[in-house]
Amino acid sequence: MIDIKNISKWYGSFQVLTDCTTNIQKGEVVVVCGPSGSGKSTLIKTVNALEPFQKGDIVVDGVSIADPKTDLPKLRSRVGMVFQHFELFPHLSVTENLTLAQIKVLGRSADDAKTRGLKMLERVGLMAHKDKFPGQLSGGQQQRVAIARALSMDPIVMLFDEPTSALDPEMVGEVLDVMVQLANEGMTMMCVTHEMGFAKKVSNRVIFMDAGKIIEDCKKDEFFGNPDARSPRAKEFLSKIL
Ligand code: ADP
Ligand code: MG
């Protein structure tokens, strides 16, 4: 589904990603972890072409991002992204937040967009809040709306960048529950998260990054099961986080 091939990226003279290669199969859940500043956000943003890269290529469902002929807005519309800060439109109701991009980007009718959006809102358990504004919801609820909004676009893959790290601790669980449910339903997911409970429960693979490089890319059981087989940096990271 996603083929990341030898990606390198620089900000000016600073190399933020060095020769990153991995792939994500359809239905796979891959967790990306690593210390702050290691390039996780940058890598995940290259996958839906929010960040350009100078070397390598990423192929999403057969479409090459490096190919200048590729329609990037179209590709982006098929890749759902959920950020740390929910980035809902504060002046729009929950329903309007759910329907706007469906209408503007996918060209759906207002009725179709509403039907689809509310179905996704139901899925994250927030139907009762459809007419509220983001400011009237808790952080956890806003993040669930953000997930419903991304799902309304019928994405072929969902990208998450630390979706729970800005939340109060008591709200982390409700967002992870939605993510676990999505994973169990077979959604292809790439998740930057330090929630190792989530990684252990539903991920297929764990990628560990350090200083812009993919240091580890292995099956979940391998990553958590045998710390001594891990690189010193991954071992140190795991000892701090587990
Ligand atoms: P992570 O998500 O793992 O914390 P990031 O991908 O956000 O890491 O950042 C990786 C590195 O790139 C950091 O050193 C960060 O300071 C740097 N960086 C991120 N965005 C920019 C930018 N727009 N310009 C320059 N440097 C950046
Ligand atoms: Mg980050």
pLDDT tens-place values along the chain, 242 residues long: 999 999 999 999 999 999 999 999 999 999 999 999 999 999 999 999 999 999 999 999 999 999 999 999 999 999 999 999 878 999 999 999 999 999 999 999 999 999 999 999 999 999 999 999 999 999 999 999 999 999 999 999 999 999 999 999 999 999 999 999 999 999 999 999 999 999 999 999 999 999 999 999 999 999 998 878 889 999 998 888 87
Q: Which two tokens stand for residue 207?
A: 């990628």
Q: Are 133 and 93 in contact (CB under 8 A)?
A: yes
Q: Which of 42, 165, 213, 237 to mutate to test the pocket of ligand 1 (most atoms within 8 A of CB)?
A: 42
pLDDT, position 20: 98
Closest to 94 measured CA to CA, from 62, 120, 76, 61 = 120
Strand-pair partners of 206: 31, 218
Please give the single-letter amino acid code of residue 93. S
Closest atom, ligand 1, to C-alpha of 209: 3
d(CA 84, CA 63): 27
Please give the single-letter amino acid code of residue 55. K
Q: Which residues contact 81 (CB under 8 A, 6 or more apart)?
A: 44, 48, 50, 150, 158, 159, 160, 161
Q: Which two tokens stand for residue 231?
A: 């690189």
Ligand 1 center from residue 132 Cα (angstroms)? 35
Burial label, 109 (beta-carbon count in 10 A; 0-12, 13-18, 19+):
exposed
Pocket of ligand 1 from Cβ distances under 6 Å: 11, 16, 34, 36-42
Global pTM? 0.96
